[in-house]
Each structure stands twice: as C-alpha cells, then as structure tokens.
Amino acid sequence: MSNKEKKQQYANNTARNIKVAIFAIIALAILYVGIKFLKGIKIFGHKQYYYGVFEDIGGLHESTNLLLNGYPIGKVTNISLLSSNPIRICAEFLVTEKLDIPSDSKFLVAQTDVLGGVAVNVVLGSSPQMAKHGDTLACGLQGGGLTDGLDDLKGQLQSVLASVDTIGLSLRETFRPSDDQNGALMLKSTLVNLEASTQHLNSLLANNEAKVSNAVGKLNELVTTLNDAGPKINTIIQNFDNISDSIAKSNVNTLINDAQQTITHLNDITDKIEKGNGTVGQLMNNDSLYRNINSTVEQLNTLLKDFQAHPSRYISLFGRKKDK
C-alpha cells in the first residue's frame, strides 16, 4: 500500500469518527431534551431556582408541580438529605414563569388525591422585598388534605367491624344445631309467621279498599281546605303575634300589682265584715240591728196603712197646726 492510499484511508477513518462523534453528541442532546421534556421542564425560557428545607416532605418527589392558585409555574427538580440528626431535607424548586415572588412567600406541600398524589402550593407573601435566585424560602406541609381524618375514620371502621364480627358470632351460635332446638328451623318459622301476617294485612287492605280510599279522599280534602285557608290562618297567627306583642309591650307588672292590691283590700273588707266592724258588719253579724231595722220598717208600714185608712185624721192635725 502506497503512502497516498494510507493517507486516503486515514482521512476516511477520521471523517467517519467525526460523523460518529457528531451523531453521538446530537443523540445525547436529544436525550437530554427529551428527559427534560418528560419532566415538564422548559429547556429554553425563564428559569429561577429557589430552595426549601423540610423536616417532613410529606411524599414530595422530583417533578412535582409548583402551583400558584392551581396554575403550574414550575417543578421540583431535586431533593436531597442535608442531615440525619436532626432530619433536614432540601428541595430545589424551579420556577419557569416570570414571576416576582416576595421574600416571605411559602412553599406548602399539599395532597391532591387519596392515592398519595402531592403538589406544592406557592403562597405569595406581602413583603415589598422580592426573593432572588437561589434564596431559601419558608416551606412546610399544608393541612386540609383529602386524607386528613382517615386515622379517626380507620378507628371508627375498626369499631364497626368488631361489632359486625360480634353479630356474626351471635348468628352462628343461634343457627348452630343443639339438642332441643335448631336456629335455622326457628328462623324458618319466623319467616312463615311474617309471611302469614303480610298476607293477612293484604287481605284487610283488600276488604277495606273502599274505606281506605274514602279516608285518603277525605285526607286530600282536608289538605286542600287547609291550603285554601292558609291566608286566613296566617292572618290569625299574625293577629295573635300582634296581641302577644301588645301584651309584652304593656306594663303587665303594674297591672298585676294593682290587682294584687285590690284583692288585698277586698280581703281586708271581708275580714272586717266577718268581725262585725262597721254598719255592714253589724248587719251581717248582729241580730239586734236587724231586728231594730225590721221593727222600724213594720212601724212605718203600720203608719202608712193608717194614713191610707184615715187620711182626714192627719190632714186635720196638720191643718190645726197651720191655723195656730
């Protein structure tokens, strides 16, 4: 092989190696872009990194979405253990949107479903100072997740299952054959009696279908009447409300006190009458006063009768006194 041929072969090998290297570089670039694309990370565009240190990441993993009011603004790009005692876990957050984040903002890990899905909610603060690229911001776990309270529910379910197990054991003991009875036969007898009772009830309803229909019709008429009288009933209720309001607004205590004073005064008067005090008491309790009044009335009656029988006697008497 001549030198010229060797040089030509070397040039061909070199060109081939260069092509393989270029294709390898292109393949690696495509692989890198593909991996970033699958992770949801933009290759070209705005990139801002922030960090958060957790004691408990609550199931956080790489490629978890960063959400601002439900809108994705980035991803979790890396999670690493800073220390084991105490436990400190560092998470790297990539924000791909042009967004001013206050320095007092928080990254809160929240559950999104009962299967363990999580997302990072970005809660913007109110500080006038904005966070810079590479700053460490506050972070933590956000309560109110879908699985909150499942421990309590688990305890309640365990209690219910224990009760169901107890019922199952009781039923098994009931249906277990014994010397004097069989639970299955007892249950069958109960079902037969229940079926007989149902048939009897159906028979009663069939025999009294007209009465039942009549009762239902009257009930419908009553409901219709009540509906028609609804405005009047409302008016009556309103009147009662007005009366109760008037009574409540009136000075009821004064009326009650006046009534009590009047009753007390009447009780004093009746006590005096019973004791014979005063004219009415003497009249009610002393017979002599009654007799004197009765005698006086009888004398007046006798005088009137004599006057009617002999008027001239009294006229002449008054006439003589007048002549004098």
pLDDT tens digits, residue range 267-323?
Answer: 777 777 666 666 666 666 666 666 777 778 788 788 777 777 777 766 665 555 444
Q: Which of 96, 90, 116, 110 is nearest to 36 (CA)?
A: 96
Verify that 31 and 67 share a domain, yes or no: no
**Domain boundary residue among 141, 165, 199?**
141
Percent of the chain with pLDDT over 70: 76
pLDDT in tens, 125-167: 999 999 999 999 999 998 765 555 556 666 777 778 888 888 8
Q: CB under 8 Å, gap of 24 or more: what pairs does 112-117 form?
A: 112/146, 113/146, 114/146, 114/147, 116/59
| In-domain check, residue 242 | no
CB 186 within 8 A of CB 175: no
How many structural domains does the chain have?
A: 4
Measured from the Cβ of residue 269, the count of other Cβ atoms closer than 10 Å reads 14
Verify that 35 and 49 share a domain, yes or no: no
pLDDT in tens, 159-170: 788 888 888 777
Verify that 55 and 102 share a domain, yes or no: yes
**Domain boundary residue among 113, 141, 169?**
141
| In-domain check, residue 277 | no
pLDDT of residue 174: 64
Verify that 105 and 130 share a domain, yes or no: yes
| In-domain check, residue 90 | yes
Verify that 21 and 6 share a domain, yes or no: yes
Q: Give the C-alpha separation, 175 to 181, whole Å.
A: 9
pLDDT in tens, 75-127: 999 999 999 889 999 999 999 888 899 999 999 999 887 777 899 999 999 99
Tokens representing residue 139 in the block: 């972070």
Domain span at residue 303? 287-316
Antiparallel, parallel or unpaired: β 138-141 and 106-111: parallel
Verify that 158 and 90 share a domain, yes or no: no
Verify that 109 and 159 share a domain, yes or no: no
Verify that 85 and 163 share a domain, yes or no: no
Measured from the Cβ of residue 82, the count of other Cβ atoms closer than 10 Å reads 11
| In-domain check, residue 73 | yes
Measured from the Cβ of residue 77, the count of other Cβ atoms closer than 10 Å reads 17
- Total residue count of the chain as it appears in this document: 324
Verify that 123 and 92 share a domain, yes or no: yes
Q: Which of 106, 168, 161 is nearest to 131 (CA)?
A: 106
Strand partners, 91: 52, 79
Q: CB under 8 Å, gap of 24 or more: what pairs does 229-234 form?
A: none
Residue 324 pLDDT more than 50?
no
